[in-house]
């Protein structure tokens, strides 16, 4: 496919609008076609105070875009006969006793469908301090001791859930813990000390991605790494602490990379998986297994939706100072990478608009089509409190003053999409809330991809 880049001025105008609205420090975008050099766009700065520009070798965090790397590595091991996707997770991780639920299979983890409710996030620094590793000078991404103990504690959290979220494979609830377990399967079955070691030796180096890694210390010391920006209590903070909010197991979000390296990475998907996996295994990765959002499903480490009637796969990521996204259309051999060094910027929405442009469509955001308002009875059925130990909280109320939806205590304007789903305007984008019922009773709401249990 070869397309005109006439949409770039309109797309760039949208990017600047996004950056202004969310106070983004800097952003890098690559527009990729299989048989043409990538078109690269740079906005803002990697370091605002010193006004240092971004280039194609500037290191950014990827956050949850890392999950696609993790799924790719599992498929690599499956192709080699070292991992069976249909085997119980407990075969490879004895510490996971699979209590209180039917057997969770490896493939369930790859689609966030292990029947796990969200649990409180475990982060690197407190565990490393408890283990006496924090001041060791070792990059904790390569600590075998930390990997082993983190896996033990994540397994204990998941086994402690006496009431699972349905049957494995039935529902999606976005789970860093699931991809943490996949990290340990990669570590043990891949024959390396850590997930980070495996990724460098078996994924990144074979692809020539030499400025990509899971390290925490290396980007903090690299002069061409992005400063991490996040607004806290109304003030924009700037840090080089890549440990901040980092999950204890690397497969969920520890990868760092550059625009140039990510162009290479997306080229793998536009080439059917070569040279790391065969087309059969890539087809498994890009097949939908479980519903994710109102307009997307989830495959293995990737969301799967449509743009202009074309199948488009991708993933977003968010951490302290990280908003990232990838998007690619296998049939049209087109892809997008968006890297930003500020928390909370809708990189996925930016990537979608860029993909629309690559597919010959208007690069402006597409507004949803609303449905009819719910009856009082239907709204009353969903009223209540929905809580996640990860920190999300949702409340729906109805009284003589009307209907209200509160997210983390703040009232939000909402709209009706269909009989199960509400839409919330979130800045320049939309968030969806879908309600789930069993035996005539609403028992959970999926918000931000997580299933929140009704209190």
Query: What's the confidence (pLDDT) of residue 81?
Result: 98
Which residues in 234-243 are b (16+ Cβ under 10 Å) and which e? eeeeeebebb
Classify residue 165: in a domain, yes or no: no
Classify residue 395: in a domain, yes or no: yes
Classify residue 289: in a domain, yes or no: no
Residues 107-133 pLDDT 10s:
999 999 999 999 999 999 999 999 999
Question: How many Å is the Cα radius of gyration of the chain?
Answer: 21
Is residue 122 within 8 A of residue 130, CB to CB? The reply is no
Strand-pairing partners, residue 211, are none
Query: What's the confidence (pLDDT) of residue 35?
Result: 81
Residues in the chain: 455
Q: Can you say whether residue 89 is alpha, beta or left, with left for phi > 0 and alpha for psi between -120 and 50 degrees?
A: alpha
Domains in the chain: how many in total? 1
CA nearest to 308, candidates 260, 264, 357 = 357
CA–centroid distance for 330 within its chain: 20
Which residues 6+ apart lie within 8 Å of 184 measured at CB?
92, 93, 147, 151, 195, 249
Classify residue 120: in a domain, yes or no: no
Residues of the chain with pLDDT under 70: 1-2
Query: What's the confidence (pLDDT) of residue 1?
Result: 63
Half-sphere exposure of 130 (CA within 13 A, CB side): 12
Containing domain of residue 406, as a range? 376-454
CA dihedral for 276, 279, 283, 286, sign (positive or negative): positive
Q: How far apart are CA 23 and CA 16, in angstroms?
A: 10
Is residue 199 within 8 A of residue 214, CB to CB? The reply is yes
CA nearest to 222, candidates 55, 337, 39 = 55
Classify residue 411: in a domain, yes or no: yes
SS3 438: strand
Classify residue 148: in a domain, yes or no: no
What's this model's pTM, rounded to 2 decimal places?
A: 0.97
Which residues 6+ apart lie within 8 Å of 157 measured at CB?
119, 120, 122, 177
CA–centroid distance for 343 within its chain: 13
Per-residue H/E/C for 8-61: HHHHHHHHHHHHHHHCCCEEEEEEEECCEEEEEEEEEEEECCCCEECCCCCEEE
Q: How far apart are CA 128 and CA 150, in angstroms?
A: 10
Classify residue 174: in a domain, yes or no: no
Is residue 246 within 8 A of residue 62, CB to CB? The reply is no
Classify residue 38: in a domain, yes or no: no
Cis amide bond preceding 292, omega within 30: no
The pair of structure tokens assigned to 372 is 């009819």
């Amino acid at each position: 496919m070869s397309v005109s880049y006439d949409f770039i001025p309109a797309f760039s105008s949208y990017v600047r609008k996004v950056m202004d609205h969310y106070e983004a420090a800097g952003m890098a975008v690559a527009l990729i076609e299989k048989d043409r050099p990538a078109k690269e766009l740079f906005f803002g700065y990697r370091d605002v105070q010193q006004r240092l520009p971004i280039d194609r070798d500037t290191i950014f965090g990827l956050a949850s875009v890392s999950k696609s790397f993790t799924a790719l590595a599992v498929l690599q091991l499956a192709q080699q006969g070292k991992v069976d996707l249909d085997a119980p997770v407990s075969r490879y991780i004895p510490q996971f006793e699979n209590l209180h639920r039917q057997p969770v299979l490896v493939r369930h983890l790859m689609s966030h469908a292990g029947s796990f409710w969200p649990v409180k996030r475990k982060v690197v620094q407190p565990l490393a301090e408890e283990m006496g590793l924090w001041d060791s000078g070792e990059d904790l991404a390569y600590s075998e001791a930390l990997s082993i103990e983190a896996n033990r504690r994540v397994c204990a959290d998941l086994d402690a859930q006496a009431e699972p979220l349905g049957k494995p494979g039935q529902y999606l609830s976005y789970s860093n813990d699931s991809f943490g377990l996949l990290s340990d399967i990669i570590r043990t079955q891949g024959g390396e000390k850590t997930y980070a070691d495996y990724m460098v030796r078996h994924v990144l180096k074979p692809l020539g991605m030499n400025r990509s890694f899971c390290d925490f210390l290396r980007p903090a010391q690299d002069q061409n790494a992005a400063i991490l920006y996040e607004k806290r209590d109304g003030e924009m903070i700037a840090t080089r602490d890549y440990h901040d909010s980092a999950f204890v197991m690397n497969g969920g979000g520890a990868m760092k990379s550059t625009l140039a390296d990510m162009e290479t990475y997306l080229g793998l998907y536009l080439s059917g998986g070569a040279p790391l996996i065969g087309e059969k295994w890539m087809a498994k990765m890009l097949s939908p297994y479980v519903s994710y959002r109102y307009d997307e499903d989830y495959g293995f480490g990737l969301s799967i939706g449509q743009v202009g009637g074309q199948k488009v796969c991708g993933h977003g990521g968010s951490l302290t100072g990280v908003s990232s996204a990838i998007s690619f259309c296998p049939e049209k051999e087109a892809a997008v990478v968006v890297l930003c060094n500020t928390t909370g910027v809708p990189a996925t929405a930016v990537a979608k608009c860029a993909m629309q442009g690559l597919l010959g469509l208007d690069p402006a955001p597409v507004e949803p089509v609303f449905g009819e308002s719910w009856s009082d009875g239907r709204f009353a059925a969903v009223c209540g409190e929905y809580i996640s130990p990860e920190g999300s909280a949702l409340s729906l109320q109805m009284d003589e003053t009307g209907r209200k939806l509160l997210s983390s205590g703040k009232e939000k304007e909402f709209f009706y999409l269909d009989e199960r789903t509400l839409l919330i305007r979130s800045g320049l984008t939309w968030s969806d809330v879908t309600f789930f019922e069993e035996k005539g009773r609403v028992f959970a709401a999926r918000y931000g991809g997580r299933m929140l249990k009704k209190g």
